[in-house]
Structure 1
């Protein structure tokens, strides 16, 4: 029996197939510029953390987060920067930090929490840190934050 029919990509013959780049507007910045902006942001975050401004540091990371298929290096650098902030924050400070963020920043933070949880072995951050942040974020922003993070096509 011939099983070659299973290797045929039938979607290429369908006119109504949505491609991933058709689902959202791509980041208007050039990939090299996105990476450069992210590297600059990392230095600004370190400066804010040295001054004890955790809210400012998290806001910097979450503002204009890189998204799209061509900026993987920038997305990973931004995730590493955020996880270093999450690891260094005391659990008692989390609710006040989350309350000070805008709704868009809260949604982006939720996306990064899920991305961190999706990493094999959860990367450089322990599970209790990510789950603690998830709990506090859900208490403040509600379950709508989870729904918005899951349904947004712009993946961080």
Structure 2
């Protein structure tokens, strides 16, 4: 028997194939520009943390978060900076900090919490920190925040 027919990619002939590029607008910034912004944000966050401004640090790191292809280094730096913020926050301060965040920033924070949970061994952050933030964020933003995070195709 001839098995050559098995090597044909039938998806190439399908007109109804949905491409990833059709799901969301790509990040218009250059990857090197995104990395430079992530480095600048990291420095700004450390300054805000030294002043005790947790909410300001969160807003700074979560605004205009890197997404899409070719910005993996900026994504990792942003996640590491966010983990620093999460680890340096007292659990009693979390509800007030989360309440002070705008709704879009809350959704982005939820994306990063899930990204942190997806890391093998959860990376540099303990599970209790991520789950504590998740609990408080869900109490404030509701389950709609989870739904928006799961359905948004812009992966951080």
TM-score, L = length of structure 2: 0.95
Instruction: Give the corresponding residue for 1:151.
Output: 151
CA distance in 1 between counterparts of 2:118 and 2:3 reads 34
Going from structure 1 to structure 2, the CA distance change for 1:128 and 1:3 (only over 3 Å counts) comes to farther
Q: Which residue of 1 aligns with 2:54?
A: 54
How far residue 30 of structure 1 moved from its aligned partner, in angstroms, is 0.5
CA 1:42–1:16: 2 relative to 1, 3 Å: same
Structure 1 residues 113 and 6: alpha-carbon distance in aligned structure 2, compared to 1, 3 A threshold = farther
Q: How does 1:66-145 map to 2 (within 5 A)?
A: 66-145=66-145
Matches within 5 A, 1:8-47: 8-47=8-47
Question: Which structure 2 segments of 5+ residues have no match?
Answer: none
Measured on the aligned residues, the alpha-carbon RMSD in Å equals 1.3
Instruction: Give the ranges of 4+ consecutive aligned residues of structure 1 lying more than 2 Å apart after TM superposition.
Output: 1-10
Q: Distance in 2 between matches of 1:82 and 1:23?
A: 27
Shift, 1:4, TM fit: 6.1
Counterpart Cα distance in 1 of 2:75 and 2:106: 17
* Inter-CA distance 45–13: structure 2 relative to 1 (3 Å threshold): same
Q: Matches of 2:129 and 2:7 in 1, distance apart?
A: 43
Shift of 1:12: 1.5
How many residue pairs get matched?
156
5+ residue gaps in structure 1? Answer: none
Q: How far apart, in 1, do the equivalents of 2:107 and 2:8 lie?
A: 39
